[in-house]
Amino acid sequence: MRITVVGAGAVGGYFGGRMLEAGLDVTFMVREKRAEQLRHKGLLIKSHHGDASIQNVKMAVHAEEIVACDVVIIAVKNYHLEQVIEQIRSLVNKGAKVLPLLNGVEHFELLQQALGKEAVMGGVSQVIATLDSDGRIIQIGPHDMMIGALQPSQEQLCLQLDKALTVANMRCLYKENITLEIWLKYAFIAAFSGVTTAARLEIHDVLATQPTQDVFRQVLTEMQMLANANEVQFPDNFVEFIFQRVRQLPKGSTSSMHQDLSKGLPLEVESLHGGALRLASRLSVEIPAIKTLYGIIKPYEQVSAVVS
């Protein structure tokens, strides 16, 4: 199976690196600056699941350089998506399917409108990773990727991809109800990223302060209400399950949005919290805690220098 990974940042670099490490046919589509870094230093992963140093990474700066591809994994921030769509359109026209690993839900509609419903599979990642100043991928916690068909025609390819990835040092899970998994991740990340970023605290410090913990709980509850209104039924114990899960995360765990804020990088607040507000407005659902987080974080969306 021929796989193209768009983006060699924390998420794309981690999963693509694990695939390369296992000998799979992977090409990274990256910007010239990242390509130059990978040429000189290789793809470096530091993780409690095992470190990796991969040299001679196959790369392309333009989609036209990729002769053939079965699956395009999109692992970029939401604010880069429109640019990526134009870059990969030629690959989709040649028969490739798209597996997005972005946060939120709005990107699925955008991709389907641009590339066609049959071309867009369901995908979501559960991984805590960041790039350090040298371009190394630092990863802690789970390293899971969930995939599933959004259209019946995609089921065979999803199962083939799931089988192919069993050899890689990561977890790939085929999910029959991938829409539920996408929403569960969205609900978690809206709370996790929102509260850690607004409070500028790692998650264990959030839980250690009761009023801040209460905000985290409220955002999870509001996201569950929003999912239910959108006809996605969460398990009854969803909120308590998330609390159990975050208590087990390694000390120092925080969201990529909080890390991006600390580095002065753009934030995905519009696609995550803004997206929730747009959907809530259409469905007549009140989500006051999410609205407050959006208002607190929004001024920093494009700020280039902030204090963590």
What's the DSSP call for residue 250? Answer: P
**Residues 239, 224 contacting (CB under 8 angstroms):** yes
Give, in degrees to the nearest 5, the angle at Cα 248 between 232 and 53.
95
Compute φ and ψ for 105, nearest 5 degrees. Answer: -135, -20
Distance CA 136, CA 147 (A): 26
Distance CA 127, CA 137 (A): 12
Distance CA 24, CA 55 (A): 14
How are beta strands 59-60 and 25-29 bridged, if at all?
Answer: parallel
Compute φ and ψ for 8, nearest 5 degrees. Answer: -120, 40
Q: Cα 104 to chain center, whole Å? A: 8
Burial category of 247 from C-beta neighbours within 10 Å (exposed 0-12, middle 13-18, buried 19 and up): exposed
> Is 263 a catalytic site residue?
no
Cβ neighbours of residue 236 under 8 Å, at least 6 residues apart?
none
User: Which tokens sit at 183?
Assistant: 């929403």
What's the DSSP call for residue 101? Answer: -
Q: Of the listed 77, 97, 175, 185, which one is catalytic?
A: 185
- The closest of 127, 129, 138, 136 to 38, measured between CA atoms, is 136
Compute φ and ψ for 103, nearest 5 degrees. Answer: -90, 150
| Core vs surface per residue 121-153: b (16+ CB within 10 A) or e | bbbbbbbbbbbeeebbbbbbbbbbbbbbbbeee
Hey, which residues are catalytic here? Answer: 185
